[in-house]
Structure 1
Amino acid sequence: METGNSYVYFALKGDSFDTDEVTNRLGIKPTDSWRKGDKGFYKSAVEFAMWRLSTDKGKEYIQIDNLVDEIVSQLYDKIEIINDLKKQFNLDSVLEIVLYIDTNEDNSTPALGHDLKTIEFLYKTSTTTDIDIYRFNSARN
């Protein structure tokens, strides 16, 4: 059975900032990062900077909360540092959930909900959530 490529990431985004400084201050190596002006995927140069910590793609399909917890657990003790970085560099933060839904009726659909620790983290860091949903049908593969 194909499981889609669901994953979750936390990102700090801004016009222009030193992603290496974010890495050093958080003490966490990002999954990826780029600076404004770096070579883009769809454009010749990216128009903003981003530091991103992501789960592996396709690691979990049913309990998406496990992916959220994997990210939040790494960052929960860094709330003050995140807020300092956001203020210093004028950054926005987002918890992005990329969700693949299997339209095959023989398979379960994923579940998503936030526990109080996640809600507290999102609130204390003024982090928005965004959910991108894609469909696939495992019966067609």
Structure 2
Amino acid sequence: MSKNVFEIDKTNAKVEFNIIGDAFNPDIVTQKLKINPTEVWIKGEQIKGKDLYRKYTLWSISTEYEESLDINYQLKAILSVLTPKTCELLELKNTLDIEYRFCVVININNNENPAMYIDTGTIRFLNEITAEIDFDLYIYS
């Protein structure tokens, strides 16, 4: 994905694409999509350093945090990887009990609010694969 390029005091963002389910084999997703995940969790695994356990299985790819005043740059980076895999994503959704969720994480600094809109092409793709989108905003100054 992209490089981790930003100044800590600047507004920055990253986008994750998460496949979430109660119990599925993440290796099946990796093999089907031919994409190596950024992160994988298995339901029931202990969260490192905590007395907590994962409540679901996750397969995820993400950008790094980048200085950004328009989330569409990060969204397009993820979509450029996923859009050619639409058929595979639909097949996985039909065979596994999974959900698709995009998560946009924005750290706002110096009151520099990024553009937060979803273009029609992205909306079409989200609809086609039946994906949700989640926005996490962290305002620091």
TM-score, structure 1 as length reference = 0.86
| 2:133 pairs with 1:129 | yes
- Identify the residue that residue 18 of structure 1 maps to in structure 2: 25
Which secondary structure does the structure 2 equivalent of 1:129 belong to?
A: strand
Where do 5+ consecutive residues of structure 1 fail to align? Answer: none
Give the superposed CA RMSD.
Answer: 1.6
> Does residue 90 of structure 2 align to residue 83 of structure 1?
yes
Please say if 1:101 is aligned against 2:108.
yes
Q: Distance in 1 between matches of 2:129 and 2:83?
A: 10
What is the percent sequence identity of the aligned residues?
30
SS of residue paired to 1:6: strand
Could you give the per-residue CA deviations for residues 22-54 of structure 1, whole angstroms, max 9, x where no partner exists? 011001111101111222255432121000110
**Superposed displacement of residue 4, structure 1:** 4.7
**Letter of the aligned partner of 2:61 in structure 1?**
L
User: How do 1:23-102 residues align onto structure 2 when only pairs under 5 Å count?
Assistant: 23-41=30-48, 42-57=50-65, 59-102=66-109
Q: TM-score, normalized by length of structure 2?
A: 0.86
1:100 Cα deviation after fit: 1.6
Aligned length: 133
Moved over 3 A (4+): 41-44
2: CA distance between counterparts of 1:44 and 1:113?
35
Distance in 2 (alpha carbons) for counterparts of 1:55 and 1:12: 15
Q: Which amino acid counterpart does residue 60 of structure 2 have in structure 1?
A: R
Asked whether the equivalents of residues 11 and 69 of structure 2 are also in contact (C-alpha less than 8 Å), the reply is no
The letter of the residue matching 2:54 is V
Amino acid aligned to 1:55: T
8 Å CA contact 1:4–1:136 kept in 2: the answer is: no
Matched residue type, 1:60: E
Question: 3-state SS of the aligned residue for 1:109?
Answer: coil
Residue of structure 2 in register with 1:115 after alignment: 119
> Bigger CA drift: 41-50 or 66-75?
41-50
State the shift of 1:114 in Å.
Answer: 1.9
